[in-house]
Amino acid sequence: MIIVTGGAGFIGSAFIWRLNQEGITDIVIVDQLGTDDKWKNLVNRRFVDYIPKNEFLKMAGEDKVPFETSAIVHMGARSSTTERDADYLWENNYLYSRKLAQWAMKQNIRFIYASSAATYGDGTLGFDDDHSKISKLKPINMYGYSKQLFDLWVLKNKLENKVAGIKFFNVFGPNEYHKGDMASVIFKAFHQIKETGKVRLFKSYKKEYPDGGQMRDFVYVKDCLDVMWWLFNNSHVNGIFNLGTGKARTWNDLIKAVFTAMGRKTNIQYMEMPESLRDQYQYFTQAEMNKLKSAGCPVKFSSLEDSVRDYIGNYLQQADQYFGK
């Protein structure tokens, strides 16, 4: 059995789609469905069972998981970069991950987990996933710190040769629809354009970046799934890896790609950024990808324009916007 935590969430449910595409259905989803619409990510999926996250952790802690497990793909976390409850993030993102990893190591099963590019903070220390540099990173929000804590725990306990961690950069694509404010700008822009014919972006407050010239490493979820599937099938490949395209693009590039995919003329307006976000705002992210390539990963990343075209044309503009069967 394969356990996918956060299996009803964005990347977790997308990975289950990929497993289903490969003919795999022996999957147990561990999550907390709550009151939002992420349950809709499960409608097209094939799996054996769903177990609430706290119930599964209790099972694992008591060695009473009632099935044999071959792998844990741990995508579950509170992923909001604006979450203010530090105690909750400590418990939910760090301690939960630690307990799962300990159980996986005891059972000698594959453990793949989600870290985050938020661990890199404002980017002044670069975006290098060399293990020797991870301890020097300074996240600028509690979400990033919760992910950093677990990366450091992995290294402290010398598990970097036994587990695979993924520092996701700016992921977008189908099944992100429940994420609210944390949904991608592509998803938000698509609906803004439909409703108003324009998109509003934050102004820049650094002279070296024009308005809309702030840069991100945008990566399509389908490309992420290809990397995850490769890691899943190559259990000898371990460590903490960046996952982006390795090529930063501007917000203006992104929005132009959305307008083009929708067959509309570009219309961007720039607005003031809330002061509460200005000290936490990243102006530049770009994954250093040599480590993953050196490990033998063969995945070729799609261009931003091709990815946006696929997302909008084959999902957002369709009656069923979710990953299909």
Structure tokens at 205: 């407050």
- E-assigned strands of 8-163? 27-31, 49-52, 71-74, 110-116
- The two three-digit tokens of residue 170, written as one number: 């700016």
User: Between the CA of residue 182 and those of 177, 179, 306, what are the distances in Å?
Assistant: 9, 5, 22
> In the annotation, is 179 catalytic?
yes
Rg over CA atoms, the chain: 19
Q: Could you tell me which of 131, 75, 137, 130 has the C-alpha nearest to residue 100?
A: 75
Q: Write down the catalytic residue from 94, 113, 143, 311.
A: 143
The catalytic position among 40, 133, 162, 179 is 179
Distance, in Å, from the CA atom of 203 to the CA atom of 40, rounded to the nearest integer, reads 35
Please state the φ and ψ torsions of residue 38, each to the nearest 5 degrees: -70, -15
Q: Where are the alpha helices (DSSP H) in 157-250?
A: 185-196, 221-233
Distance of CA 269 to the CA centre of its chain: 28
Active site residues: 143, 179
